[in-house]
Amino acid sequence: MPWDCSLNQDVHVTVDNHSCYFRAIPKDHPLYVKRFSKASPAIMLKSYLRILDPITGVCPSSKRIIQDITRCWGSHIDIICEHGGAAVDGIGSRNGHREIKGLAPRGGKRVKKEELKEEALHPDALEAWDIYLRRSIDRHSHSMSSNDVET
């Protein structure tokens, strides 16, 4: 499985986002024991294991795994396998002195997708997400009302 293509980054982002939802939860709140955090290596390990859990985990999704494998095992991999794993001229440029002149470099301008990526929430994070969202709305409504008063 091409774990290092983009699935690894998906897991890091998901743990970061889940950690953000729990930042405002005080220690005396009952939800605090279910927190996702990166405060220490032990707590971080628990957070990652919960996100990756095959039963209750939310990342990476089956859709993303299929998308990543499809992208990795495209026509270029087949051509490289046919050539015994050797570098094949014409399927991608290289960096530095190994650059192949005349080929388009890899990468390029990033095109945003029209649909937004929906992040799945871990069942333990649903209530924290609601608290996070309510606090954000309250903070925003207070800043909007203070801006209205000034003008």
Higher pLDDT, 53 or 97: 53
Tokens 């009302």 -> residue: 145
Is the model's pLDDT at 102 over the cut of 80? no
Query: Which residues, other chains included, contact 132 with Cβ-Cβ below 8 Å and sequence gap of 6+?
Result: 20, 21, 24
Read off the pTM. Answer: 0.63
At 20-67, the pLDDT tens digits run 888 888 888 888 888 889 989 999 999 999 999 888 888 888 888 887
Dihedral-angle region of residue 34 (phi above 0 means left; psi in -120 to 50 means alpha; beta otherwise) = alpha
**Mean pLDDT, the chain, whole residue set:** 77
Tokens representing 56 are 């209750």
Burial of 93 (0-12, 13-18, 19+ CB in 10 A): middle
Residue 145 pLDDT class (50, 70, 90 cuts): low
- The reported pLDDT for the residue numbered 49 is 93
